[in-house]
Amino acid sequence: MKSSRSRRSGARALVESLERVGAETVFGYPGGNVIDIFDCARDAKFRFVLGRHEQGCVHMADGYARASGRPGVVLVTSGPGLTNSITGLGVANMDGVPLVLVCGQVPLDEIGTDAFQEADTTGLTRAVSKHNFLVKSADEIPETIAQAFYIATHGKPGVVVIDVPRDCQQAMTSAEHPARVSLRAYHPERVASAAQVCRLAKMLNAAKRPVIYAGGGVIAAEASEDVASLAHKAGIPVVTTMMGIGTMGSADPFCLGMAGLHGVPAANRALKEADFVLALGMRFNDRTTSALSRRRQRMAHVDCDASVIGRNVSVDLGIVADVKDLLSTVDSRVHPAERGEWLARCRAARSDATARRSGRLSAGDVIDAVNRVAKGGEIAVTDVGQHQIWAARRLENLRPRHFLASGGMGAMGYGIPAAIGAAIARPDRTVVAFVGDGGAQMTSEELVVAAELGLHVVFIVFENGTLGLVRQMQKEEQGGRIFATDLRSPDFVALAAAYGVKGVRVDDPAKIDAAIARAIRAKRPFLVDAKIDPEETV
């Protein structure tokens, strides 16, 4: 190692490297085996945000990453700090969110001795990360940080974990942050061949009823505008996965909304009736394939991750490439077309209504109120359950990076902390969190962070007194045997007040617009406890 730089501790080198890779916010929670790094973070260039539980810290970093496009960074201690982080890592990794977690570890010579707060970080995070590192000397730290950020952000984005033993944090090193990262075994950039581009253009030009099926990979690749311009040029309606929501605003006449198991009828019908589907930046997990079950349509699938092509759905043409690059190359070969009749047929099916019983506040009333008041300018973050599906189906005019949800993992507890992370990333936006009364009780402790930082987040709790989505399954699939789903909640307005967050309770459809408007005007965290009908189903 060269030593033009003065010697400093591994912890100091780590903080310097985080600055060098451009980390401007780090989320985390301290502890004994990471205390040297925290000591150096005191005067770092980045801002440190203290969550109240490591799961919350990771979801915050995830929300920050999804809303900004920059990798989320988390710093936690060994043992319980790491195990508390696992759900958050799984959520981010499954949804292709770039995130780097640094955790403390017991000193090298104590690893494997059942030392206090020792956990097998490598073993525990293998299945919830794209890659993990165990640092074995202070000299490795700058290079490891550089590689971790490279891996997290290149190819399909994902989670990278760096386990840093305490003695490596304390040891002195002269190792410098590398100017460039070169990894012998990881070269994810792939481009489509000329033949593939030609074939795709031919398939599109020949199609009578084509549909674009856009996933989260379109948003991650910043290719939403390219999708819209292809759709407009060639008369192709666009449906999305849940992760792809925001690719195209619902005011665009080519946008048919979310398809799949929980999708809207117009989107699913278009997929069923299509003669050609162009799937972009998606995995075809089980939620997204329902409309393809009796498929007669031809299909092309483009994704930057080779492992998803042909895995769950067999396709006529598979292309491993960056979606944005691919669209820019194929564009000139696609003929302009109207496809007026096909578009009219697809559009006629648009319109969606949630079931409601008159007089009571429904989930649809709440979401419609957000549509009216926020007019699509908000960043919407959801938890998991019925409220998530209602929001995904019904929110209007969202932009790319403006709909955040735990898609792959479906982890309750995501909404509140992820909304906080999004608000930190985008102080210029109103963030609206849609959470169930079940999920709200999993991570409500993070509300105090929103109060402490004065963040502009509107937390809407859909209080139906039940774990609604599971109760609905019990009603519809388990012969109506309701068990362990109806639950008592705290007084959410009082709970928010205890954390320093103002709130209001609403159960009258006539008052919901005013409540949402007041929350949005507040310019500080505000909770709306919406009492809705437990019998409403999705």
Ligand X SMILES: Cc1ncc(C[n+]2csc(CCOP(=O)(O)OP(=O)(O)O)c2C)c(N)n1
Contacts with Mg ion, residue ranges (CB under 5 A) = 436-438, 464, 468
Q: Which is closer to ligand X, CB of 72 or CB of 90? A: 90
Q: With binding defined as CB under 6 A, does residue 437 bind ligand X?
A: yes
Q: What is the distance between the alpha carbons of residues 472 and 355, in angstroms, rounded to a whole number? A: 13
Contact region with ligand X (CB under 6 A), list: 169-177, 245-253, 407-415, 444-452: 407-415
Q: With binding defined as CB under 6 A, does residue 384 bind ligand X?
A: yes
Q: Which is closer to ligand X, CB of 30 or CB of 438? A: 438
Q: With binding defined as CB under 6 A, does residue 438 bind ligand X?
A: yes
Q: What is the DSSP letter of 510?
A: G
Q: Which is closer to Mg ion, CB of 23 or CB of 391? A: 391
User: Residue 475 Cβ, how far from ligand X at the closest point, in Å?
Assistant: 12
Say if strands 25-28 and 8-9 run parallel, antiparallel, or are unpaired. Answer: unpaired
Q: Tell which positions 18-37 bind ligand X, by CB under 6 A.
A: none
User: Residue 485 Cβ, how far from Mg ion at the closest point, in Å?
Assistant: 9
Q: Which is closer to ligand X, CB of 34 or CB of 381? A: 381
Q: Which of 123, 64, 136, 138 shows the shortest CA–CA distance to 99?
A: 64
Q: Which is closer to ligand X, CB of 36 or CB of 383? A: 383
* Greatest Cα-to-Cα distance within the chain, rounded to the nearest angstrom: 74
User: Residue 411 Cβ, how far from ligand X at the closest point, in Å?
Assistant: 5
Q: With binding defined as CB under 6 A, does residue 407 bind ligand X?
A: no
Amino acid present at 96:
G
Among 263, 385, 408, 525, binds ligand X (CB under 6 A): 385
Q: Which is closer to Mg ion, CB of 98 or CB of 468? A: 468
Query: What is the phi/psi pair of residue 385, to 5°?
Result: 150, -160
Among 411, 455, 520, 528, binds ligand X (CB under 6 A): 411
Q: With binding defined as CB under 6 A, does residue 94 bind ligand X?
A: no
Q: With binding defined as CB under 6 A, does residue 412 bind ligand X?
A: yes
> HSE of 112 in the Cβ direction (CA atoms, 13 Å)?
2
The DSSP annotation for 119-171 comes to: --HHHHHGGG-SEEEE--SGGGHHHHHHHHHHHHHSSS--EEEEEEEHHHHHS
Q: Which is closer to Mg ion, CB of 413 or CB of 468? A: 468
> HSE of 55 in the Cβ direction (CA atoms, 13 Å)?
17
Q: With binding defined as CB under 6 A, does residue 349 bind ligand X?
A: no
Q: Residue 534's binding partner, choosing from Mg ion, ligand X, none, with beta-carbon cut-off 5 to 8 A by kind?
A: none
Helix H or strand E encompassing 93: helix 86-94
Q: Which is closer to ligand X, CB of 219 or CB of 469? A: 469
Q: What is the distance between the alpha carbons of residues 77 and 163, in angstroms, rounded to a whole number? A: 9
- For the record, the structure tokens of 344 come out as 């009219």
Q: Tell which positions 161-200 bind ligand X, by CB under 6 A.
A: none
Q: Residue 387's binding partner, choosing from ligand X, Mg ion, none, with beta-carbon cut-off 5 to 8 A by kind?
A: ligand X
Q: What is the distance between the alpha carbons of residues 376 and 363, in angstroms, rounded to a whole number? A: 17
Q: Tell which positions 460-519 bind ligand X, by CB under 6 A.
A: 462, 464, 466-470
Residue of minimal CB distance from ligand X? 436
Q: Would you call 160 exposed, middle or buried from its count of C-beta atoms within 10 A (0-12, 13-18, 19+)?
A: buried
Q: With binding defined as CB under 6 A, does residue 386 bind ligand X?
A: yes
Q: Which is closer to Mg ion, CB of 415 or CB of 468? A: 468
- Cα dist from 165 to 53, 138, 300, whole Å: 22, 9, 47
User: Residue 470 Cβ, how far from ligand X at the closest point, in Å?
Assistant: 5
Q: Tell which positions 440-469 bind ligand X, by CB under 6 A.
A: 462, 464, 466-469
Q: Which of 452, 447, 385 shows the shortest CA–CA distance to 419?
A: 447
Q: Which of 46, 37, 48, 40 shows the shortest CA–CA distance to 169?
A: 37
User: Residue 448 Cβ, how far from ligand X at the closest point, in Å?
Assistant: 20
Q: Would you call 403 exposed, middle or buried from its count of C-beta atoms within 10 A (0-12, 13-18, 19+)?
A: buried
The site for ligand X (CB under 6 A) is made up of 383-387, 410-413, 436-439, 462, 464, 466-470
